[in-house]
Amino acid sequence: MDCTFYVPGTVAKENTEDNENSGDENEEVNADMVFYETVKSKLEFSQMTTENIVQFPEILSLTPRGRYNIDMYQDFLRLRGKTYDYKILYSNIVQLFLMLKPDDVHVLFVIGLDPPLRQGQTKYPFLVFQFVREEEIDIDLNLEDSVLEEKYENKLQKHYDAPTYEVVSNVFRALTGRKVTTTSTYKSHHGAFAMKCSMKANEGFLYPLEKSLLFIPKPPTYIPINEIGVVTFSRVGQSAGSSRTFDMKFRMTSGTDIQFSSINREEYANIEDYLKQRKIKIKNEVSEDTVLTYTDLAGLDDDDDDDEDEAYEARKRRRVDVPNAARANEDEEESPDEDFAPDSASDVPEEYDSEAQGSSEEEGSE
């Protein structure tokens, strides 16, 4: 539920030493800005009364886009960027994912929220942060050893010196009590944990997990296995020269469709095996008149070869029949040439021309 305040008019700015020296006694500011700054200061004061456990500075966020300082408290976290400042309760965090990108250089940390984060009219049910895999952090937590042992049951460490993505994911897991889902045993054609594809106009990666599929980074899309009705493949069986990619559409039990496009043809076998292992119904959106399987293509090549051979033989027969007819007419009108030698190399019929060979033998016997 959103609440919008309208504060009309302007108010006189409070005098400070600088204002007194400058002589701007009647300077006015918008009343709504005064109201905003007042509320913000009260909120920040209430938050500062509780010391944060740890701060992760300048973390790159892909969704929503920007860099944020992540302040972790006992019951909530703050995302502080240049423009926006968010407070997120740990109870609103429902899912955590840690995914290695196919480039083997970056790691994506995904936070699922319910209710989603709002930025104006845009809702963000998932936050996606990106880390460099080899980047490390050396940091201490503002917690006593007794608290680490009693409250968090040693799920947190007093000191961390490890890759940043590992530290962040471990702290989130301990403070939220949520399991961090990692990549499954699925491997793409190129040995990665995800396959490259597009969702509408956005390129990203689709991760087939044990009990779900996850598309990231934008728009982050979560597909539970138990909510999939049928998966339909398009343009899979077309000839290799016509298309190098295929499409895949998920029809959910709720009736909604989720479609991915521009998937490399080489990924088809692996994703098909993944879906079959989970007993998901598969359909191919194909037509016998327009789509051919690889077996059909092989048979078509053989038929084309047979047709070409028959046409070649017909052309040879036509070339042989024309000289034979001309020679027959010459025999009726002219006398045999005394120099004619049927066995001469210049007039020997081709081996495949049986009719021409028979005619030559008859003329020789005469």
* Span 296-329, pLDDT tens digits: 544 545 555 556 666 666 665 665 555 555 454 4
Which pair of tokens denotes residue 287? Answer: 């037509």
For residue 234, the number of C-alpha atoms closer than 13 Å in the C-beta half-sphere is 8
In this prediction, residue 348 carries a pLDDT of 47
What one-letter code names the amino acid at 258?
I
pLDDT category at 330 given cuts 50, 70, 90 is very low
Report how far residue 321's alpha carbon sits from residue 314's, in angstroms, rounded to the nearest whole number.
11
Q: What is the mean pLDDT of residues 19-45?
A: 66
Pairing of strands 93-100, 180-182: parallel
N-term to C-term CA, the chain: 113
Residue 24 pLDDT exceeds 60: no
**Which one is predicted more confidently, 304 or 99?**
99
pLDDT category at 10 given cuts 50, 70, 90 is confident
**364 by DSSP, 3-state: which?**
helix
Q: What is the mean pLDDT of residues 128-151?
A: 95
pLDDT category at 103 given cuts 50, 70, 90 is very high
Identify which of 43-47, 184-188, 211-215 has the greatest average pLDDT: 211-215
* Span 272-301, pLDDT tens digits: 999 999 999 999 986 444 444 444 544 545
Pairing of strands 257-264, 282-285: unpaired
- Tokens 């004619």 map to which residue? 340
In this prediction, residue 217 carries a pLDDT of 96
**28 by DSSP, 3-state: which?**
strand
* Span 33-77, pLDDT tens digits: 788 777 766 665 454 446 899 999 999 999 999 999 999 999 999
In this prediction, residue 354 carries a pLDDT of 46
**83-92, 118-127, 270-279, 348-357: range with lowest mean pLDDT:** 348-357
